[in-house]
Amino acid sequence: MFDYAHLEALLAVEREGSFEGAARALGVTSSAVSQRIKLLEERIGAVVVNRQPPIKPTHIGIELCRHAELVSILEDKIINANDCAPTLEDHRKPVIKIVVNDDSLSSWFMDVFKREAAKGASYMFEVSIADQDYSIDELKFGSVLAAISINKTPVQGFGSRYLGMHVYRATASPDFMKRYFPDGVTLEALKRAPALRYSAQDDLQQQWIKQSFGKAIVHDTYILPSSPGFVQACLGNVAWGMNPAQMVDKYIESGELVELIPDAPLNKPLYWHCSRMVAEPLKVFTQHVVEAAEMYLDQSDRQ
């Protein structure tokens, strides 16, 4: 059996990114956190924390963190099912780690948390940002218990549920269009026009270009890791970008932004993946995810 005080220390190190931060979160000293981690490592015979910056759990340490979260969720379920009333000092709401892409978080996913808050949230959530095309890797690695992904097929131990199509529009300001596309949007013009890219993993621009013209090209890009920043950069004549329809339709309607090619969106299917170990405790949260998705995402091709 694990000593859960040791697992709690490990989980705090993962969340805070340092022994000092973990100590503050737990209300103990840094040496106490270090001692608990050391005892855990001695117990299992393996290193659970990489102590070189950036400080984070090893692979087995990550597995132990998810195990600790699961235990916390199950304990909470038992307490609630038996009408127990632990003191606030003894009982804190479980924290669940999930992955959401920034475009969803900035455009519709916040409605999920609003629904949770309205009914009285049962859990706290630690949200990490990851591209929807690659978030499945976080599940494979065991980093999170739930995620939004474009992948329909779940990894082992998870279930998936279709949410809808996230509609992206290639948009820019009218002034930008006049400067870079005076004779229309062509491959040659796109090579010269700067575009926005969220990160090295983001290739929505290339996907849209290939969808529209049948081939990808090399072009200049700004790396800008912010979905709201994308919209502001487009409004400010900085570049063109792939923006969620929910975030730019009002600007298109007002004339502040235009589509590079009218009515040529890029549609990305989104799925909610959740560990079967927490599917029942997270049933209400999952329902809130589905309800928000049905309200904001394109449901035209739902089977």
Four-residue CA torsion sign, 80, 86, 92, 94: negative
> What is the reported pTM?
0.82
Residue found under tokens 């081939």: 215
DSSP letters spanning 131-179: -TTTTHHHHHHT--SEEEES-SSPPTTEEEEEEEEEEEEEEE-HHHHHH
303 residues of the chain, pLDDT tens digit each: 788 889 889 988 988 889 999 899 889 999 999 999 999 999 889 999 998 888 889 989 988 988 888 888 877 777 666 666 555 455 578 888 999 999 999 999 999 999 999 988 788 899 999 999 999 999 998 889 999 999 999 999 999 999 999 999 999 999 999 999 999 999 999 999 999 999 998 999 999 999 999 998 999 999 999 999 999 999 999 999 999 999 999 999 999 999 999 999 999 999 999 999 889 889 999 999 999 999 999 998 765
Please state the CATH superfamily assignment of the domain spanning residues 166-267 in this structure: Periplasmic binding protein-like II (3.40.190.10)
82 alpha carbon, distance to own chain's centre: 34
- Closest among 245, 183, 201 to 193, alpha carbons compared: 183
Query: What residues does each domain of the chain span?
Result: 1-88, 166-267
CA geometry: angle at 95 spanning 75 and 202, to 5°? 140
Fold category of 1-88 in CATH? Arc Repressor Mutant, subunit A (1.10.10)
